[in-house]
Amino acid sequence: MVKINNPFVIVGYKGERYFCDRKNETAKIVEALHNERNVTLVAPRRMGKTGLIHHVFEQVKRAENDVKCFYIDIYPTMSLAELSKLMASGIIGNLDSPSEAIWHKIQSFFGAFRPAISYDPLTGMPQLMLDVKPENEQLSLKQIFEYIAQSGRRCYIAIDEFQQIMEYGNANVEALLRSFIQRVPNVSFIFAGSRQHILQQMFALANRPFFHSAQMLSLGPIDQREYFAFAAGYFAKRNQELAPAEFDAIYTEMRGITWHINVVLNRLYAKPVQNITSNLVSDTIDEIVDEQHDFYQGLYHSLTYNEATLLRALARERTVKSPLAVAFSNRYNLPATSSIRTALRKLERLQLIEHELDSGFRVYDPLLARWLLRLRW
């Protein structure tokens, strides 16, 4: 891994030096995969699922060199055909080291899909392209799983943003995938995603195909003490002091969300100061919110009056247990209950708010919440 200038990473996984804690979660996932159990990893956006998957694969590559690890993010896919193509390019060509014999095998296996090699524009790595038409998407996917099974290679496959399969508009998709997945005994899967309710229902309801097919792991915030030690350590190396109180202010306002905390720390780390004061922390967060202004404004104006008012009210209150209660709607002149309910559902679907059973409703993005607080009523 290359050495980087700022240890507070805000894009991708840059190696274990820059990865804080998650020891228990890493051990649990490694152990599950090793024992042929699938894992479902759920957490709110930007809590660190994708990073954790890469971190797990790093450990696996070191400890078990007979295992092949594959990561695919299916967020951009809209159909089984696209899922097939993604699996072909991300997995099939990389199962075995490239050779004439392997290429012949792939050609005869996938002949109907006119296999071709192309080069990834970013990495330059060769990838297998399949020509999959909507009418034969199921067959292509079946072949892909068969190919993986016949390779006999032990594989760990992580499918990130797994809830995306529910957008394919194919009523059968869960049952279909489940049946394919059952036929690859040499593969253990990680299913990850941020739509927690959708994934939980998929894996925890008895009438659904994926019921009990994977071990659930939900990822919370990184432990505050571990995070503080990690962060303060990097500051100390360059003779800067990050005191517990200032870290606490960041961790609390960013509600423990890894990406948001790293964004603030990344900025602070770039500032040539010796002491990180509470004013500096606050100004730094404001600076980030300022940069997001145009984006937040656009977002805000795309909402209906009811949705916008409700969002501001939620930002004011931080968390609201009963948004349909009279006291809350009177305080902010909210519309009738049925309209609030509609607006809540819409804001949830846009992932602008989140809902936890024990704490209540709140604005998901702490930076957006801060921006909303600046608006005058």
Ligand X SMILES: Nc1ncnc2c1ncn2[C@@H]1O[C@H](COP(=O)(O)OP(=O)(O)O)[C@@H](O)[C@H]1O
Closest approach, Cβ 46 to ligand X, in A, equals 4
Buried b (16+ CB within 10 A) or exposed e, 337-373: eebbebbbebbeeeebbbbeeeebbbbbbbbbbbbbe
Position 140 contacts ligand X (CB under 6 A): no
Closest CB to Mg ion among 50 and 164?
50
Options 81, 88, 173, 222; binder of ligand X; rule CB under 6 A: 222
Measuring CA to CA, which residue among 288, 302, 265, 258 is closest to residue 369? 288
Footprint of Mg ion on residues 218-257 (CB under 5 A)? none
Closest CB to Mg ion among 58 and 64?
58
Closest approach, Cβ 39 to ligand X, in A, equals 14
Q: What is the rounded radius of gyration, in angstroms, for the C-alpha atoms of the chain?
A: 23
CB 177 within 8 A of CB 159: no
Closest approach, Cβ 73 to ligand X, in A, equals 9
At 59, list the tokens: 């450990």
Measuring CA to CA, which residue among 253, 319, 315, 241 is closest to residue 284? 253
- Near Mg ion by CB under 5 A, which window of 50-58, 108-116, 285-293, 369-377? 50-58
CB 338 within 8 A of CB 330: no
Q: Rounded CA gap, 328 and 318, in Å?
A: 12
The residues, ordered by sequence, that sit 6+ positions from 233 with a Cβ below 8 Å of its Cβ are none
Closest approach, Cβ 50 to Mg ion, in A, equals 3
Position 43 contacts ligand X (CB under 6 A): yes
At 2, list the tokens: 């290359």
Q: Rounded CA gap, 191 and 157, in Å?
A: 9
Options 42, 47, 80, 231; binder of ligand X; rule CB under 6 A: 47
**∠ CA(110), CA(124), CA(186), 5° rounding?**
45
Closest CB to Mg ion among 50 and 138?
50
Options 38, 40, 50, 89; binder of Mg ion; rule CB under 5 A: 50
Residue 287 has φ and ψ, to the nearest 5°, of -60, -40
Footprint of ligand X on residues 157-196 (CB under 6 A)? 194
At 272, list the tokens: 């040539």
- Near Mg ion by CB under 5 A, which window of 6-14, 44-52, 138-146, 223-231? 44-52
Q: How many residues bind ligand X (CB under 6 A)?
A: 22
**Phi-psi category of residue 12: left, alpha or beta, with phi > 0 → left and psi -120 to 50 → alpha:** left
In terms of Cβ atoms closer than 10 Å to its own Cβ (0-12, 13-18, 19+), residue 307 is buried
Position 214 contacts ligand X (CB under 6 A): no
Closest approach, Cβ 199 to Mg ion, in A, equals 13
- Near Mg ion by CB under 5 A, which window of 41-49, 110-118, 241-249, 295-303? 41-49
Closest approach, Cβ 354 to Mg ion, in A, equals 16
Closest CB to ligand X among 105 and 355?
355
Task: Output the residue with the shortest Cβ distance to Mg ion.
Answer: 50
In the DSSP assignment, the letter for residue 135 is G
Position 45 contacts ligand X (CB under 6 A): yes
- Near ligand X by CB under 6 A, which window of 11-19, 74-82, 130-138, 144-152? 11-19
Options 109, 211, 234, 259; binder of ligand X; rule CB under 6 A: 259
Options 163, 262, 306, 329; binder of ligand X; rule CB under 6 A: 262
Strand, helix or coil at 157?
strand
Chain contacts with Mg ion (rule: CB under 5 A): 49-50
Chain contacts with ligand X (rule: CB under 6 A): 9-13, 19-22, 43, 45-51, 194, 222, 258-259, 262
